[in-house]
Amino acid sequence: MNIKNLNKIFRINTQFYKDRRFYEKQIKRMIIILIIIIIILILKRINSNFSNNVIRIIDKGVNYKFEIKKDGKKIIDFAKNKIKIPDKIVTVFNSFQGKEEYIVPMEGKIYKYFGEGKQVKNKVFNNGIDIIPASEGVAYSIGDGTVSDIEDKNSLGYFVTVDYGEISAVYGQMKEVHVEKGDKVAKGQKIGSLGNLKEGNRYLHFEIRVKGEPVNPEEYINF
């Protein structure tokens, strides 16, 4: 085999590997774009409060090894136009940043959810969620905090407020309280127990508040 033929084979092989690397690169780019589309569609479907933050991170993060303006800009702009997001930024996104993760206050079943509900003919707004206990009916601290208030609401039972810094939580409808105002509580520590109230109610009324305003507990805790 002469030198001319060897050079020709070498050029063919070199071009083959160049083409192969080019198509592999294009496939990887398409996979990344498809992942972005899936994430945005999921965010649009769940309509969560931190969606806009995630989209902003995608806008910055997908700039790895390809130009976002050419491959992802239209996707990001489309998502921002389609997803209407409230101005409030909630702490649920903090769990993705390595911050506090809260536990459930009581094992059981949610039978009244946060928001508007119907009671007879009138609409009522539930500032939290109501949990029917699975067994013993003990309320536990969702994180490390300080007991800031204890209120006796007579037939409604005791309501204990615990300050966790970025949020506060209210544990209500309890017959007994195992903490005192000013106490430091640890995650998983007993706050109180339900017992049987005069009105026959045996459920935990649980609220989460941000700057005094009630928010949906399910945005902070995975029940």
pLDDT tops 80 at residue 45: no
Domain boundaries, the chain: 1-61, 66-96, 106-217
Q: Tell me: the pLDDT tens digits for 118-132? A: 555 667 889 999 999
How far is the C-alpha of 198 from the C-alpha of 203, rounded, in Å?
13
pLDDT at 97: 46
Query: What secondary structure, in 3-state letters, does 61-77 show?
Result: HCCCCCCHHHHCHHHHH
Class in CATH terms, 106-217: mainly beta
pTM of the entire structure? 0.55
- Three-state secondary-structure class, residue 126: strand
Q: State the average pLDDT for the chain.
A: 76
Residue range 82-98: mean pLDDT, rounded: 43
- What is the β-pairing status of strands 115-119 and 108-112? unpaired
pLDDT at 27: 84
How far is the C-alpha of 125 from the C-alpha of 70, rounded, in Å?
47
The mean-pLDDT minimum among 84-88, 143-147, 218-222 falls in 84-88
Using 50, 70 and 90 to split pLDDT, how confident is the model at 77? Answer: low
Using 50, 70 and 90 to split pLDDT, how confident is the model at 75? Answer: low
How far is the C-alpha of 123 from the C-alpha of 50, rounded, in Å?
28
Residue range 86-100: mean pLDDT, rounded: 44
The mean-pLDDT minimum among 34-38, 116-120, 150-154, 183-187 falls in 116-120
Q: Tell me: the pLDDT tens digits for 198-216? A: 555 689 999 999 999 999 9
